[in-house]
Structure 1
Amino acid sequence: MSNRNTRPGRRPRQRQARGASMVGRRFEAEVGPVAHGGHCIVRVPTGSEVEPAETRVVFVRHAIPGERVVVEITEGTEGDRFWRGDAVEVLQASSERVEPPCPYAGPGPGLCGGCDFQHVTIAHQRELKAAVVREQLARLAKIDVPVTVEQVAGDEDGLRWRTRVQWASGPGGTRGMRAHRSTTVIPVEDCLIARTDAREVPGPAGVVTEQVVTAAGTHSFAVDADGFWQVHPGAPRVLVETVLDFLDAQPGERVMDLYAGVGLFARFLADAVGPTGRIAAVEGDRDAAKHAQGNLAGIPGVRVECGSVDKVLATSFDEPFDLVVLDPPREGARREVVEQVVDRAPRAVAYVACDPAALARDVAFFAEHGYRLERIRAFDLFPMTHHVECVALLTRDR
């Protein structure tokens, strides 16, 4: 669970400096709307006698829209298009602001800062995430749809939900978390978003069994102890049930499950289409694909193919499919995969997305081929952070 962003003393990545560094400069400003990535947009004055009204956009963490704060710049030089910063002092607080439950939350030295929204009420966190999803769909896909981020059973008021934890090792072997956008390890005794029985990753090598109980039935899945599996305990059930509801698979239909992992969606869809149906599952990770083969073994009409999704679709399964599940990594499916999917002419596509920007971009690609966004649900599977999981239903425009 260590943050994979890096900043050893504020050094995320090497960029060519465009003028003097602004790091450490402070500005008093009003906080604007929430932005993708756990930030809010703030504009600070950078004008001169020649252009006194000139401002610079700063992506600010630890703030809430509508507040008045003191922003300290953490990244940026004079000539950059935008800067990054932290709200280090709150002058006028939002009514949605709360004291973070975790003593390591927030900006500043000695703090983890990995949770974006611990300073926000849990209900407003979901409102902020919904605003981001709406904004991305409006900006990138040119569609305006209502979005509500739904609570999912399995956490404790937004805490104690991570079933797996990746600790960083600090000086003297101390256990901790990496500070936001940094390699600096902050000693942490207890991470409050982790379950007390969370499995440490990396840990002992081996295979674990995950049981998923849904309204459609119960199945167990073998997965590597350090392999991908949803970290919120309520995630597998709510995602499976939503995909099944959206697709409404019928006996005998042909289904393609892309980025299939260990076969979570494929297993339940196989029940829905029955022995006369067909399931084609494609997964790029060799170990996950091997587990998918075991988890789906003995089911009539099921085939698991290991390989990059775009390359597999370029050479295999070149025939019509009724339904498609897309569950890509954070970067999304991208145009090439979308075009290969629509080439199979499915009546419906269920797109499971962990990044709203990638989802919106791919929805726009689907629209170019006559598929429209019919339904979308968003789930709070990562409370206290900016992350949100969406399931979108795309259908052919008749």
Structure 2
Amino acid sequence: MRAVDRRGPAPTVDRLDWTDQVLDLEVGPIAHGGHCVARHEGRVVFVRHALPGERVRAVVDEDGGGSYCRADAVTVLRASPDRVEAPCSWARAGGCGGCDLQHADPAAQRALKAEVLAEQLRRLAGLERSVPVEELPGGALGWRHRVRLAVDEAGSPGLRAHRSHDVLPIADCPIAPAGALPPVLARGFAPGSEVEVARDADGVVHVVPDPDGAPDRRVVQRAAGREWALSPGTFWQVHPALPDALADVVREWARAPRGGMAWDLYGGVGLFAAVLAEQVGPDGRVVLIESSRRAVADGRAALADLPQIDWRAGRVEDLLGRLGGRPDVVVADPPRRGLGRAAVDALCAHEPERVVHVACDPAALARDIALFDAGGYRLAELRAFDAFPMTHHFECVALLERLG
């Protein structure tokens, strides 16, 4: 006789969802990602457009039903002394996803980013280290010399809303160079496409694709005492002062010996390879690995007078294991996710004296530092640059030295 299940259907559990609720919140510390941390009825609330120490009224705009939700401050009930009026009307609840910190004084922005860096190092690498985030020349506005616009279904370009595919009908963007965007925003493009607007070192504004079908022009960039003529779309830092700042740090920390061996991983068009090539001289060797074949071609052309650079087009993950010998120094500028365990283990196995690690994400950098520590490398130096004012992003450079 078959047993009968008399328990009945499992009871349903209502998923907790505070979406669209308005909460009064005491705002706590800054967190990585452009928001501050608050707590309400036992849950964490990540609050955008707020500052530590403020009391705000916030609307929950995203709730997955777990231990946390996301909200946007709509009313400031008690303001921080660091709060200022945002220079852009889209830097608000329901607005643009590009800028997280326009409501904070620029000096306060840098202090908040330094807090994020210290917290990530403490939590992920077990290090107590306080590092200031250094201001770059040019101020907090007009610095973004490359902007990627989204195009809506009607063919109008704009910027995407925060955590959304919606395209906002902006008229300009204050962190872009003055006058660069309005002529592009007034034009029509293929619906659903993207448009890149870049201002080069000569002040020429390049639009790709060009709405008039004009042939692509070379994008001229200069840094480290050299010039590159790049194909449209080839990567170059968006802040015009950052390439020289990074090249100067690499020059100081790499100390590649004359006639020595250096590796430049994720090397792009060879900004750091140019510095390393000068250090090792004509009898030395610099191995550069870069996945973009277009960047490799542009770099080869720009640095044709440096035959000691050995260009390798391919993924670092695929080519690193094929490199032989022991480099004196390695410079690595990986994507936002960082190097990761496999790459760090491979580098440690080659035993370079120094690794100069360039990073645009403090959490990924802290994880990599912990991996290097386990592989016998100590963090010797660390600098941070406010290369993306008004946003939560910043750039770091770490020097790791081999123990023993």
With normalisation by structure 1, the TM-score equals: 0.88
Residues 1:105 and 1:326: Cα distance change in structure 2 (over 3 Å): same
CA contact (8 A) 2:220 2:230 kept: yes
Tell me the TM-score normalized by structure 2.
0.86
Q: Bigger CA drift: 221-230 or 362-371?
A: 221-230
Deviations 1:298-318 (A, max 9, x none): 423221111110210112x22
* Cα distance, 1:200 vs structure 2: 5.4
2:361 is aligned with 1:374 = no
Whether contact under 8 Å (1:207, 1:222) holds in the other structure is no
Partner of 1:144: 128
Which residue number corresponds to residue 67 of structure 2? 81
Deviation at 1:60, TM superposition (A): 1.1
Distance 1:207 1:354, change over 3 A: farther
Q: Please, which of 95, 102, 106 is the counterpart of residue 118 of structure 1?
A: 102
Residue 4 of structure 1: aligned partner = none
How far 1:20 moved relative to its partner?
4.4
Partner Cα separation in structure 2 for residue 380 and residue 24 of structure 1: 34
The CA deviation at 1:221 is: 1.6
Partner residue, 2:367? 361
**Structure 2: runs of 5+ lacking an equivalent:** 1-12, 181-198, 200-204
Alpha carbons of structure 1 residues 313 and 60: separation in structure 2 relative to 1, 3 Å: same
Q: Structure 1: how far apart are the matches of 2:106 and 2:46?
A: 22
Amino acid at match of 1:103: S
The offset of 1:291, in angstroms, is 2.0
CA distance in structure 2 between the aligned counterparts of 1:371 and 1:207, rounded to whole angstroms: 44
Q: Is the 8 A contact 2:26 2:54 kept in 1?
A: yes
**108, 112, 127: which is aligned to 1:128?**
112
What is the number of equivalent residue pairs in this alignment? 364
Please point out which of 232, 238, 245 is paired with 1:238.
245
The answer to whether the 8 Å contact 2:330/2:356 transfers is yes
Deviation string, structure 1 residues 274-319 (Cα, Å, up to 9, x no partner) = 112110000112211222232333423221111110210112x221
Q: Tell whether 2:215 aligns with 1:208.
A: no
1:334 is aligned, of 335, 340, 343, to 340
Report the AA paired with residue 22 of structure 2.
R
Taking every aligned residue pair, what percent have the same amino acid on both sides? 46
State whether structure 2 residue 18 is matched by structure 1 residue 34.
Answer: no
Distance 1:257 1:41, change over 3 A: same
Partner of 1:13: none
1:61 Cα deviation from its structure 2 partner:
0.6
CA distance in 1, matches of 2:315, 2:57: 47
In the aligned structure 1, how far is the partner of 2:220 from the partner of 2:14? 51
- Equivalent-residue separation in structure 1 for 2:26 and 2:285 (angstroms): 56
Contact 1:24 / 1:74 at 8 angstroms: preserved in 2? yes
How has the CA–CA distance of structure 1 residues 255 and 230 changed in structure 2, closer, same or farther, with 3 Å as cutoff? Answer: same
Distance in 2 between the 1:201 and 1:117 partners? 28
1:103 is aligned to 89
Q: 159-168 or 90-99: which moved more?
A: 159-168
Give the structure with higher Rg (CA). 2
Distance 2:390 2:29 in 1: 18
> Aligned to 1:325, what secondary structure does the other structure show?
strand
Cα pair 2:24 2:55 within 8 Å, conserved: yes
Specify the code of the residue in structure 1 equivalent to 2:312. E
Q: What is residue 44 of structure 2 aligned with on the other side?
A: 57
In the TM superposition, 1:270-281 aligns within 5 A as 270-281=277-288
What stretches of structure 1 move > 6 A for 4+ residues in a row?
none
CA displacement at 1:340 relative to structure 2: 1.2
Alignment of 1:94 with 2:101, yes or no, is no
Tell me the SS of whatever aligns to 2:126.
coil
- Deviation, structure 1 residue 22: 1.7
CA deviation string 1:324-368 (max 9, x = no partner): 001000011111111111122111111000000100000111001
Instruction: Report the CA distance between 1:114 and its aligned residue.
Output: 2.5
Residue by residue, what CA displacement relative to the aligned partner does 1:225-252 show, whole Å, maximum 9, x if unpaired?
1121101010110010011111122311
Aligned to 2:328: 322
1:284 alignment partner AA = S
Using the alignment, how far apart are the partners of 1:300 and 1:184 within structure 2?
48
Partners of 2:54 and 2:87 in 1: how far apart? 20
